Amino acid sequence: MQQSRPVDSAVTAVAGGVIVVAVGLYLVYVITGILHKTAGLSLVLAGTAVGVVIIALGLLALRYPERHRLLGGLIMLFGFLSWLGTSGGYIMGLVVSIIGGIMTVVWKPPAQAPPP
């Protein structure tokens, strides 16, 4: 049965965003807590913010399924951008986000029944 909203793709995109955020928060802890350096902190914080954007876009895909192509493209774009700050969530978050973006783009709404 086909769903009226891209639930599977949104969950996948949100999972990718969560991975990126988790890795970003871990890197913030390592950079500030252990190394006592702030050299790469702004880049890591930007990567963590990209993960939050991926999560928001996944949730928006649930709210606005008619915009699935635009939101899926943005999920893929921000998935690629996560590489800059958090190494794409150690690559795993990048891959999961891009898969979620692709799934969102190719999602098809259920066919409407013809009027009686």
State pLDDT tens for residues 16-32: 999 999 998 888 887 77
Question: Is 69 a member of any domain?
Answer: yes
Report how many domains make up the chain: 1
Q: What percent of the chain has pLDDT over 90?
A: 57
In a domain, 1, yes or no: no
Query: Domain range spanning residue 86?
Result: 7-106
Cβ–Cβ under 8 Å, residues 103 and 75: no
CA angle, 34 then 83 then 91, to 5°: 85
Residue 102 belongs to some domain of the structure:
yes
Residue 39 is predicted with a pLDDT of 62
Q: What is the pLDDT of residues 46-67, one digit of tens each?
A: 888 999 999 999 999 999 999 9
Any domain includes 113: no
> What pLDDT does 34 receive?
67
Residue 70 maps to a domain: yes
**Distance separating alpha carbons of residues 107 and 93, to the nearest angstrom:** 21
